């Protein structure tokens, strides 16, 4: 599981909410007029070297009225605090500062779990003076109390509720609060689908917990079902659009109007079939994940390669199966 990629997506999709949560004091004056631009880390790889590939979410904050100088936020996620190196982070920040020609840099480290024993400060000094004094903002999600954040109106906070500290008996409640926050705070259906997976990954409900969730939170469970239906429709529409484009390209290459029309018709039909198959596969995968949890790569490959009738048969079996192998036998 790529925690780095999960959090990179979240930071890039929701930069304002992320900065408000992970760097609250420094982000206090960032309003809607302020421009936040992701700085592509790839342009720095040749200079910084391969070992910095994971440190790839610098965000440049600029005030349009120029009343303040631009501020560069450097965010790093660490799923295992033991891997964190303050020397590496300091090196990275200094290189970025030089390349961006700024000394206004705010380092932020997000620890997925606890961060006990992690170095919080780096001081380089001699007998007479200190020559480098480096610190960073730290947020250890596993040390935060779920109770303090359960009703937050910050989307990034609500999505991370499963990563916070809470009694095991309240796990389903935490999951429900995260899903509720997603549906209330994120209007974009595509991002709702995207970050429902984020919640699923970090909540990791087992079969019994999923049954409890469907029983105690029927409204949220219905919302998730609508997500699955929307996934189906989205796949169908994408297939149609791809088919139209493919058909037009085929027709143009033939160089005749008749070829264009035939190519478009053929492409649309192919697109509809492709979209329908893609949508059915996505719906089946969603149903299986809701009932049985995270799916192995082998299962996802079988679903992608299955024919239309096979997908239909497997979808019907989901309703009565108690184990994953009963669906795909």
The answer to whether 227 and 192 are in contact (CB under 8 A) is: yes
pLDDT digits (tens, 9 = 90+) for 39-68: 865 444 444 444 444 446 889 999 888 777
The helix/strand/coil state of 60 is strand
Task: Indicate whether 31 pLDDT > 90.
Answer: no
Q: What percent of the chain has pLDDT over 90?
A: 37
Whole-number pLDDT of residue 18: 95
Question: Sign of dihedral through CA atoms 11, 37, 180, 144?
Answer: positive
pTM of the model: 0.67
Sign of the alpha-carbon dihedral angle for 87, 89, 95, 100: negative
Cα distances (angstroms) measured from residue 63 to each of 19, 34, 35, 316: 15, 5, 6, 55
Q: Is the dihedral of CA 288, 289, 294, 295 positive or negative?
A: positive
**Closest by alpha carbon to 104, among 161, 144, 62, 146?**
62
Q: If you average pLDDT over residues 216-226, what whole number do you get?
A: 75
pLDDT: is 273 or 12 the higher one?
12
Which residues contact residue 162 at a Cβ distance below 8 angstroms, ignoring those fewer than 6 apart? 171, 174, 175, 178, 199, 202, 203, 204
With contact defined as beta carbons under 8 Å apart, do 152 and 182 qualify?
A: no
Check whether 90 has a pLDDT greater than 90.
Answer: yes
Report pLDDT for 2.
Answer: 61
| Confidence at residue 42, expressed as pLDDT on a 0 to 100 scale | 46
Tell me how far apart the alpha carbons of residues 145 and 109 are, in angstroms, rounded to a whole number.
Answer: 18
Q: Quick check: 7 and 110 in contact, CB under 8 A? A: yes
With cut-offs at 50, 70 and 90, classify the pLDDT of residue 277: low
What residue spans define the domains of the chain?
A: 1-143, 146-216, 238-327
Nearest-CA neighbor of 7 among 63, 65, 54? 54
Of 63-77, 93-107, 274-288, which has the strongest mean pLDDT?
Answer: 93-107
Question: DSSP letter at 160?
Answer: T
């Amino acid at each position: 599981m790529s925690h780095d990629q999960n959090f990179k997506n979240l930071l890039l999709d929701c930069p304002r909410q992320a900065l408000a949560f992970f760097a609250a004091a420094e982000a206090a004056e960032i309003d809607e007029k302020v421009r936040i631009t992701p700085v592509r880390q790839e342009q720095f790889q040749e200079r910084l070297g391969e070992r910095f590939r994971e440190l790839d979410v610098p965000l440049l904050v600029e005030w349009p009225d120029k009343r303040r100088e631009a501020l560069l936020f450097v965010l790093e996620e660490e799923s295992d605090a033991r891997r964190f190196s303050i020397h590496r982070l300091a090196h990275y920040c200094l290189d970025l500062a030089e390349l961006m020609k700024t000394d206004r840099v705010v380092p932020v480290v997000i620890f997925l779990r606890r961060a006990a024993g992690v170095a919080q400060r780096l001081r380089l000094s001699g007998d007479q003076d200190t020559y480098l004094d480096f610190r960073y903002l730290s947020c250890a999600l596993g040390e935060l109390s779920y109770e303090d954040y359960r009703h937050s109106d910050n989307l990034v906070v609500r999505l991370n509720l499963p990563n916070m500290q809470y009694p095991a008996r309240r796990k389903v409640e935490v999951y429900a609060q995260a899903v509720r926050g997603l549906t209330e705070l994120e209007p974009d259906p595509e991002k709702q689908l995207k970050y429902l997976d984020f919640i699923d990954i970090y909540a990791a409900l087992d079969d019994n917990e999923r049954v409890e969730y469907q029983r105690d939170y029927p409204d949220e469970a219905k919302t998730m079902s609508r997500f699955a239906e929307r996934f189906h429709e989205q796949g169908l529409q994408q297939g149609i659009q791809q088919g139209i484009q493919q058909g037009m390209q085929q027709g143009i290459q033939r160089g005749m109007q008749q070829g264009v029309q035939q190519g478009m018709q053929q492409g649309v039909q192919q697109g509809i079939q492709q979209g329908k198959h893609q949508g059915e596969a996505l719906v089946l995968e969603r149903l299986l994940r809701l009932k049985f949890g995270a799916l192995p790569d082998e299962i996802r490959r079988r679903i992608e390669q299955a024919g239309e009738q096979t997908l239909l048969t497997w979808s019907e079996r989901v309703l009565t199966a108690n184990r994953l192998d009963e669906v795909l036998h």
